[in-house]
Amino acid sequence: MMKQISLLAGATALATILGSAAFAQSEISAGANVTGVTGINERLDDVQDDVMDDFARSEDAARFGPADRRTGTFGSVALSYTGRTGNTENQDFSLAGRLSHNVGQFQQSVGILLEYGEDDDGDTDTEETSVIYEGNYYFNDRFYAFALGRAATDGLANDYDGLTAEEYADRDGRLKRDALLAFGPGYRIINNDTTAWRVQAGAGIRYTQTIDTIDDAGVPIVGDTVDSDTSIGYIVSSRFYHKFNDQFFLTNDTDFLSSDANDLATNELGLNVRMTDAFSTRVSYKTEYVSDREIRTDNTVGISLVYGF
């Protein structure tokens, strides 16, 4: 559920940059594949990429103005397929693409993600489609208007073949379709070399289709029912950045989304320190709130560290 906030805040991207490196696959040394060295090396790369992404998100590329000055139409598409036979019989497929169009003060992009997967028995366990839209019109460096859209479908939400009674009950409340389109203004309250604070707020329409497998009395329903709902939603976001000096800056990101379905909120405070040219660290404290969970609030402490030599 919290992913919805990230999408609406513009923090999530589906695009994958294509290049020759994306198609290259080689051992780091002879025999590395069969001995497992390559697998561990790939995990090392994953950890390093995650840490660098954490630092990059904290910078907030759009804090002073439009983040992407490239003009015209451009995009990328990436496809991945893996098929397995032997001890397991399954396959996984994913397709991700983004198309962007920037002209003058108007920037917009559309992204699509298709995912299909099978479990070790060869039964389909993932069949999802997601589409996002993001548009921004900049009246000047301080004032802008935004549009954010998301649509997601779960092809297996009401597929109950082979499920146990417990697994069937667990499907209760699963979203088959979820879509939202929001519009609103944004403004940079503070915009100088050391401090940037921008806020945006808007309203939108959210449409959901929820699968019900248990009635209000807690009795399993024979054959699912689909509960459709259309409601007005509201979103408020804040991005704060302050640089104390060339080595230390602070960020605080806040998002709130309210609709008839539930209320979602996140706040992440980050302290970023570049101790030397080779040594940087980031400490963050993130709070996530979902109004319809049994335990509504989750708190996460994160530490990222980079040292190069």
Could you read off the pLDDT of 94-119 as tens digits, one per residue? Answer: 999 999 999 989 999 999 999 999 88
Strand order in the sheet with 143-154: 72-84, 90-103, 106-118, 124-138, 143-154, 174-191, 195-214, 220-245, 248-258, 263-274, 279-290, 297-307
- Kindly report, residue by residue over 174-183, the tens digit of the pLDDT: 778 889 899 9
143 pLDDT above the threshold of 60: yes
Residue 271 DSSP symbol: E
Tens of pLDDT along 21-77? 444 455 677 777 877 888 888 888 888 888 888 777 777 767 777 766 788 999 999
Say if residues 181 and 149 touch (Cβ distance below 8 Å): yes
User: How do strand 124-138 and strand 263-274 relate by DSSP bridges?
Assistant: unpaired
Top-confidence range, 39-48, 116-125, 185-194, 269-278: 185-194
Distance CA 233, CA 184 (A): 12
* pLDDT band at residue 81 using 50, 70 and 90 as cut-offs: very high
- Among residues 206, 305, 184, 309, the alpha carbon closest in space to that of 260 is found at 206
This prediction has a pTM of 0.74
For residue 203, give the nearest of 153, 163, 146, 244 by alpha carbon: 146
Average of pLDDT values for 152-171?
Answer: 66
